[in-house]
A and B are shown apart, each in its own frame.
Chain A
Amino acid sequence: MSTLVETISREIVSGHIDESIEAVKDALQGEIPPQEILDDGLLPAMERVGSLFQEGEIFIPDVFFSAKAMHESMNILRPLLAPSQSMGMGRVIIGTILGDIHDIGKRLVGTMLEGAGFTVIDLGVEVSPDAFVQGVKAHQPHILAMSSLLTTTMMNMGVTIEALLKAGVRDQVKVLIGGAPVTRDFAEEIGADGYGSDASAGVEEAKALIATLKGETGKGE
């Protein structure tokens, strides 16, 4: 592997955003194929970040910076990659549910999803069931992700899923939910497709949902 690609990997793992961008530009100038930069630089870097986090060597803010570095690097590479690669993992619309303005977890998940190669469309906070329905229609996402911190508002997740059903778009999208009071039982009870107990578990669940989506439809991007 070229040292230029190794540098990209190292800078992403270190969470150095500007340096990662520079390293990607250097590699492109050194005529390293974009696909190789992605396969040997970016993707192994994020895997390394994941395992360092699992081992307790690095912390949430470190992962956040690495994910940002990864996302910025992808923005440079995306136009240069073959169309089948450029779409990345899939599209996600994300928001906190009606009545809940607590969005720190949502932002963290959003950034980590971007770091994992997803395209994330952030609908903001206190997203009404209707706004989620409109979001599905407008953005055609693979995944709708919603979160709730408050025990008093989490039932609005079920209301949102009912609204998707009524609008006839429920089967167009996988629903992923999270937030401190949310449990897998609750996810099943309201008919969500997936649940993440924390940000990194949410990203893993999103990947698994994409895998089932590809299995179900044979499509994929």
Chain B
Amino acid sequence: MKVNVEGTAHFRMLSGEQIEGVLSGAMEILERVGVQVNDEEMVKLLQEGGALTEGENLVKIPSSMVERALQSAPHRVVLANRDGERNLVLEKNRIYFGTGSDCPNVIDPYTGERRPCLFDDVLRASKVADALDHIDFFMSLGLVSDVPRMTYDRHQFLAMAMNTKKPLIITCIDRNGLSDQYEMACLIVGGEEKFQANPYFAVYAEPSSPLTHSKEAIERLTFAAERGIPIVYTPGVSGGATAPVTMAGNLAQGLAETLSGLVISQLKSQGAPFIMGGVHTIMDMRTGIFCYGAPELFLLSACMTDISKELNLPMFSTAGCGDAKVLDEQAASEASLSLLMAGLSGASLIHDVGYLESGLLGSLDMLVLSDEVISMVKRILRGIIVNEETLALDVIADVGPGGHFIGKEHTRRHLRAEHWLPKLMDRTNRDAWEKGEAKTMGRRVREKVIDILEGYEPPALDEQLLGELNTIVAWADERYRGK
């Protein structure tokens, strides 16, 4: 592990040779095994681009096609907020943290009860995410369940956009759902041209491991490519179940899935913004759970980030999540380890902050705890600066043996930049802590959640605009009525 302590600290997991090995493996998988592409038109397009096809939908992709796609994909992708401010510049070693999406359940912040996620829960999540300093982008956290099933995604998008200005990553039920959300987003930012200049959201899509691109995934890839909407293409790779049990094989196969998605996106539209990803983890061999708190996930995510830098593509990584059922000691350990690892790796978008129960439970508690951990991680990432002023030799000479530094101007001058300041972590002495009701971290976290929910005013959408957005949602509901 190499640590650069001048400015940003970051590490590398893989050597250049290891990266080459995994890349070569991915290329070999694409040429020898191929990928299944469940879309006739796309199979044809791939064939015309130089791929070999077998049967109806098995496509073998030569490495030259992958190389062409890597050349044409942009090396930087920008995401803007609701006001068009270009807040996220996805480039090497610029890191941003955000939530995950579509957990079927939430923990009710008032009753502590675990229950299905409702529209109001996504409103709460977007409000909390907006209030937190270290959450840079927002995914829905929960899957809205109290609206019509076939149009849930438009409702969910509305709940996301209503309570936060931050850039979004959205999911959709199908092409129509994506199209409606795109229309809503364009309405918000002031038209299609404005969206394309400063994309307000990226679209989430995933291949299905092993080595399959579903019709739904292709729909998302092509819709996004045609309109210049950034796409996050991210396989969920389950080591030992949907991919080899060995870490290298897990990486190579997932990378083959991602790179074939890149080829599809670039064939559809050269230069289409593409963010690579991958939740590369293991299946727990006792429970069958797809692990979100496994050290292998943290390790593989950092490895894939190394590979993304080699490929010059932005990376969608994973952290701040776990397999714990509530915000307990396990959850805190999972959040801390994963956030530090992902931060040090230098991934572009680090998502799933707030996931508990292996992605089945979206937790505002986990989100708020992680926000504090992220701020610690960012302090570590800032590293140290070594120069005359920071070495402080004159100050040391001035104080001399036996003196103190509290009364030095140098201390006052640098303390705010050099010391991380806790907001939730407790550093009081025992007496003070006990006088403050001896609150555990869990209680302090929940109180902050409630404080935000009760006291924070998110930047509201214009009333008339909200009305127009609601009309689009209502039209969609009408179209699908009875289906």
Binding site for B on A (CB under 8 A): 53, 56, 59-61, 99, 101-102, 104-105, 108, 151-152, 155, 180-181, 198-199
Contact = CB atoms under 8 A, between A and B. Distances in A.
B96 to A, nearest CB: 25
Contact of B288 (A56, A105, A151): A105
B104 A61 contact: no
Contacts of A99: 216
Given A99-B216, A151-B104, A151-B143, A56 B286 contact: yes
A61 B104 CA distance: 28
A90 B359 CA distance: 35
B317 interface: no
Interface string B235-278: 00010111000000000000000000000000000000000000
A181 B361 CA distance: 10
Instruction: Please classify the interface of chain A as helix (H, G, I), strand (E, B), loop, or mixed, using the class held by over half of its residues.
Output: loop
B285 interface: yes
A60 B283 CA distance: 10
A53 to B, nearest CB: 8
B240 A61 contact: yes
B288 A199 contact: yes
A101 B212 contact: yes
B173 interface: yes
A60 B238 contact: no
A181 B216 contact: no
Contacts of A105: 288
Of A61, A152, A198, most buried by chain B (CB within 10 Å of CB) is A152
A180 B359 CA distance: 10
Nearest to A155: B149
Contact of B173 (A101, A108, A152): A152
A99 B286 CA distance: 28
18 contacts: A53-B286, A59-B286, A60-B283, A60-B285, A60-B286, A101-B208, A101-B212, A101-B214, A108-B288, A151-B102, A151-B143, A152-B102, A152-B143, A155-B149, A181-B104, A181-B360, A198-B287, A199-B288
Interface of B: 38, 102-104, 143, 149, 152, 171, 173, 208, 212, 214, 216, 238, 240-242, 283, 285-288, 290, 358, 360
Contacts of A155: 149
B102 A104 contact: no
A104 B104 contact: no
Nearest to A107: B241
A104 B240 CA distance: 11
Contact of B290 (A60, A61, A101, A180): A180
Given A152-B102, A198-B288, A104 B173 contact: no
A60 B240 CA distance: 10
Nearest to A99: B216
A152 B242 CA distance: 20
A161 to B, nearest CB: 15
A181 B283 CA distance: 16
A160 to B, nearest CB: 14
Contacts of B152: 152
B129 to A, nearest CB: 20
Given A102-B208, A104-B242, A152-B143, A59 B285 contact: yes
Contacts of A102: 208
Contact of A60 (B212, B288, B360): B288
A16 B149 CA distance: 47
Contacts of B283: 60
A39 B290 CA distance: 36
A153 to B, nearest CB: 9
Given A59-B286, A99-B216, A151-B103, 19 more contacts: A53-B286, A56-B286, A60-B283, A61-B285, A101-B212, A101-B214, A102-B208, A104-B238, A104-B242, A105-B288, A108-B288, A151-B102, A151-B143, A152-B143, A152-B173, A155-B149, A180-B358, A181-B360, A198-B287
Of A99, A151, A180, A199, most buried by chain B (CB within 10 Å of CB) is A151
A94 B66 CA distance: 38
Q: Which 6 A-B pairs have the closest CB atoms?
A: A59-B285, A151-B104, A181-B104, A151-B143, A60-B285, A155-B149
